Structure 1
Amino acid sequence: MSKLHAEYYADSMKQVDGAIELNELIGEGTYRVRIAAPEIAAQVAPGQFVMIRIKGLNSPLIGRALAVYDVVADDDGSLRCIDLVYLKKGVLTTALANCQVGTEVTVWGPLGNGFSNRQCDHLIMAVGGIGQTPMLLLGQEALGTRSFGCDRASGWAEKVELIYGARRASLLAGVDDFKAAGFDVTLCTDDGSIGEKRLVPDVLAERLSKIQAGTRIRVVTCGPEIMMQKVAEACEAAGVDCQVSMETPMACGIGICFSCVAKVRQDDGDWDYKRTCVEGPIFDAEKLCWD
């Protein structure tokens, strides 16, 4: 394992004990929780995540990594809360779904590198499952309607499109948020219950084939690994810039435990393990070894 550079250190994170202000069902088994954490809300950049634990709950003992879905401001415009979207699945998320407003949780972050803000004409966000969660902030920053993090430029894309897939319509969560943000939204479902009965990578490949020559395209993707691999392959075939948000399970979130490594190609053509929590979770697609 190569030595971490200072830019990957997690020593700028904040640990905050905050109260839950909202915890609502927004899709089948999917919830949106709002936590008072102004120190984190003021710093977070699109694609970063936090670790969360419920105060007084020792099972599970470790925290759970969740991407920051949104940040919420007070009436005076100061950022005060973070919104996280999660699927009720494991021990912690099941307990979190049962938490009432006022429950105290501990969050630490922001963590990870976040998406780049490279200039483009058309940003396409290709997501599946719960992979929509890091995309709302990114699309808003790209259009220039909001700014996040420290010293990050906004307004670096002219158009933002979301291609969002799930097994069935009831599993799609937050669609109205993306439409309200001004994104073009295409929905895909395996059973055809809403939108196109197609897979996200297939829709993306068709979209890339029809885009006018000379248009600067960027693709970002998050979701099931096989979907992201197919998205990356479609982008490689089309010669399009692609970044991947890895969903590798994490234990510590700060680079200590080595439980979240991914195989990443080096400049010399060989590969090395990189910690998703500190050197990711965002990687350029051409750098990833999918096998």
Structure 2
Amino acid sequence: MTKLHADYYADSMTQVRTTIVLNEQIAESTFRLRVEAAPIAANAVPGQFVMIRMAGINAPLIGRALAIYDILDNDQGEPTYVDVIYLRKGALTTPLSSASVGTPIDLWGPLGNGFSNRDCQTLIMAVGGIGQTPMLLLGREALGDQTFGVQNRASGWAQNAEIIYGARNANLLAGVDDFRKAGFEVTLCTDDGSLGQQALVPDVLKERLTEIQDLSTVRVVTCGPEIMMEKVAQLCESMGVDCQVSMETPMACGIGICFSCVAKVNQDDGEWDYKRTCVEGPIFDACKICWD
């Protein structure tokens, strides 16, 4: 078994007790939450996440893992605010959805490994459901519009950024205007055809990839329902396209202690092993995931 590198662990995370700055509904059962958390905002890179719980409330006792959707500066141009997007459906997110500005919130992060910033000509983000949440920062970095992390890791590593975004119906699509304002080419698809194409994300991606002559210039990243990610991963592998997945395995601790978020990952020796999504992910090369 490969030993974990120290960087995989949550050594650089910060725990912050702060208050809600913004909590607004942006789609059906979908909300955007903003908190002031400068230590997290300054250190986070695209694809990382935070654990959140409502301060002083013990039901649920554990936090909820949410991808970092956006990072905003204060008036002095310093990274200060962290945005997440969440669905109202559980013991934490239901009361959170009605929490007012000023409500105390505990969060810790940034957690996870984040997407790589490998050079490409075209970055295609294939997402479904709530899987669009880690993509806004990644696309901005790819286009060179924003840099992230204490070391200001390299940005401007793609010429174009596209997002293929699918949901069951139009009412569930969230953040579309943000993607367009960021300069992404946006393709929408819905199961019922209520907006965009009536199609599934992997099918739309396949059509798009067949239009590109040199697939070595393309990177695909994907997040969403596991069956969708599996099909995207299989498609990219069959076409020789570089692909990373952001796994949405349920987490309890977020820091590698509880082993509740393991995924089966192929090793270099041909065998597979369990890897903790919270500390060795959530980003993995798609060809490494055992989907069965």
1:281 aligns with 2:282: yes
**C-alpha distance in structure 1 between counterparts of 2:2 and 2:254, whole Å:** 18
> Contact 2:209–2:215 (CA<8 Å) still a contact in 1?
no
3-state SS of 1:123 partner: strand
Aligned to 1:7: 7
Quick check: 2:215–2:241 contact (8 Å CA) kept in 1?
no
SS in 1 for 2:142: helix
Q: Which amino acid aligns with 2:22?
A: L
Instruction: Report the Cα offset of residue 98 of structure 1.
Output: 1.1
Aligned to 2:129: 129
2:268 partner SS: coil
Aligned: 1:213 with 2:214? yes
Distance 2:148 2:96 in 1: 26
Q: Which position in structure 2 is the counterpart of 1:111?
A: 111
In the superposition, the TM-score normalised over structure 2's length comes to 0.98
Counterpart check, 1:222 vs 2:223? yes
SS at match of 1:243: strand
Paired residue for 1:157?
158
Identity of aligned pairs, percent? 70
Once the two structures are overlaid, the 10-residue window that deviates more, 125-134 or 2-11, is 2-11
Gaps of 5+ in 2: none
In 2, are the aligned partners of 1:262 and 1:273 still within 8 Å (CA)?
A: yes
Q: What is the CA distance between 1:213 and its match in structure 2?
A: 2.4
Determine if contact 2:120/2:159 at 8 Å carries over to the other structure: yes
Structure 1 residues 10-45: Cα deviation after superposition (integer angstroms, max 9, x where no partner)? 111000011100000000000000001000000000
Matches within 5 A, 1:92-107: 92-107=92-107
Preserved contact between residue 209 and residue 238 of structure 1 (Cα < 8 Å): no
- Report the counterpart of residue 39 of structure 2 in structure 1: 39
Aligned to 1:63: 63
Runs of 4+ aligned structure 1 residues displaced above 6 Å come to none
Paired letter, 2:247: M
User: Helix, strand or coil: the match of 2:206?
Assistant: helix
Contact persistence 1:73–1:81 (CA under 8 A)? yes
With over 3 angstroms needed to count, the CA separation of the structure-2 counterparts of 1:214 and 1:169, relative to structure 1, is closer
Q: CA offset at residue 3 of structure 1?
A: 3.1
CA contact under 8 A between 2:215 and 2:240: conserved in structure 1?
A: no
Q: Which residue of 2 aligns with 1:21?
A: 21
Task: Give the superposed CA RMSD.
Answer: 0.9
Q: How does 1:247-258 map to 2 (within 5 A)?
A: 247-258=248-259
Q: Any idea what the Cα deviations from partners look like across 1:67-93, whole Å, max 9, x if unmatched? A: 000011111101111000001011101
What displacement does 1:214 show?
Answer: 6.0
The one-letter amino acid paired with 1:197 is Q
- The 3 A distance-change label for structure 1 pair 214 and 199 is closer
Aligned partner letter, 2:122: H
Aligned twin of 1:73: 73
CA offsets per residue over residues 104-161 of structure 1, 9 Å max, x none? 1010000000000000000000000000000000000000001111331000000000
Letter in 1 for 2:33: V
Q: Do structure 1's residue 202 and structure 2's residue 203 form an aligned pair?
A: yes
Match of 2:191 in 1: 190
Q: CA deviation at 1:9?
A: 1.2
Paired residues, what number?
Answer: 291
Q: Is the partner of 2:197 in helix, strand or coil?
A: coil
Structure 1, unaligned stretches of length 5 or more? none
What's the CA shift for 1:7? 1.3
8 A Cα contact 1:20 1:105, kept in partner: yes
Give the Cα separation in 2 of the matches to 1:221 and 1:177. Answer: 18
Equivalent pair of 1:263/1:274 in contact (CA under 8 Å): yes
Residue identity in the other structure for 2:168: R
Shift in Å, 1:58: 0.5
